[in-house]
A and B are shown apart, each in its own frame.
Chain A
Amino acid sequence: NAGVMQNPRHLVRRRGQEARLRCSPMKGHSHVYWYRQLPEEGLKFMVYLQKENIIDESGMPKERFSAEFPKEGPSILRIQQVVRGDSAAYFCASSPRTRTSGNTIYFGEGSWLTVV
């Protein structure tokens, strides 16, 4: 049973380009979370999705950032017109369901975005 798979692991983009980060949750998991780790900071919640639904996007910047989790295929975090401040590690996590005692969240190994 493969874990949470993220790709690419490392991505370099020039300012103004688009970045697309993909996350395939663990088999059987229908909930996906995206977190961002900025240098010297902890994990900051960005967005929580279920298949074809955005449940909570309160942590997403209002502009340039979007996320989706289609019926088929991985979840995608998309950053348009990247700026230097977007450079960070982006972690995806999945769980079967949130509100079930004992269910923990499983993380991917992260995607490191560098904007030059």
Chain B
Amino acid sequence: ILNVEQSPQSLHVQEGDSTNFTCSFPSSNFYALHWYRWETAKSPEALFVMTLNGDEKKKGRISATLNTKEGYSYLYIKGSQPEDSATYLCAFIGNQFYFGTGTSLTVIP
């Protein structure tokens, strides 16, 4: 089984602060990297699909970058809001989907 690591494991930020967290993955046999948002008691939902080295994706206040050569992706949230509180999962797609353990974000009003 492949290792996909996310850091930090959990994060508390004040409303309005910007934040970012990391997903590390093997740089070989890369096909795609996905970011998912997972709210408590709901199913994870896809945020971004990233396939090319240097990819940058943006959706509102959330953006992500990808470096396939060194095996990492960053997720950024600008001006965090309480509704951003969730666990953010990355998934490395090689032969199938390998998920990291997630970063649990709590935004304090």
Give the CA-CA distance A42 to B9 in the complex, in Å. Answer: 10
A-chain residues with CB within 8 Å of residue B28 when the two chains form the complex: none
**A56 nearest CB neighbor, chain B only:** B96
A48-B96, A104-B49 known; A41 vs B34 contact (CB < 8 Å): no
Verify if A102 is at the interface (C-beta below 8 Å from B): yes
A-chain residues with CB within 8 Å of residue B1 when the two chains form the complex: 45, 58-59
Which of B32, B45, B96 is packed against the most chain A CB atoms within 10 Å? B96
B residues 69-107 touching A (CB-CB < 8 Å) = 87, 89, 91, 93, 95-102
A residues 11-31 touching B (CB-CB < 8 Å) = none
Does A42 lie within 8 Å of B96, measured CB to CB? no
Verify if B46 is at the interface (C-beta below 8 Å from A): yes
B-chain residues with CB within 8 Å of residue A41 when the two chains form the complex: 101
Does A105 lie within 8 Å of B100, measured CB to CB? no
Does B34 lie within 8 Å of A45, measured CB to CB? no
A44 to chain B, nearest CB (A): 8
B56 to chain A, nearest CB (A): 16
A-chain residues with CB within 8 Å of residue B87 when the two chains form the complex: 42
The 9 closest A-B pairs by CB, nearest first: A42-B101, A107-B43, A104-B46, A43-B99, A48-B96, A42-B102, A107-B44, A101-B51, A109-B43
Known: A45-B99, A95-B97. 19 other contacts (CB 8 A): A42-B6, A42-B99, A42-B100, A43-B44, A43-B101, A48-B97, A55-B96, A56-B95, A58-B1, A59-B1, A98-B93, A98-B97, A99-B93, A101-B51, A102-B49, A105-B91, A105-B97, A107-B43, A107-B44
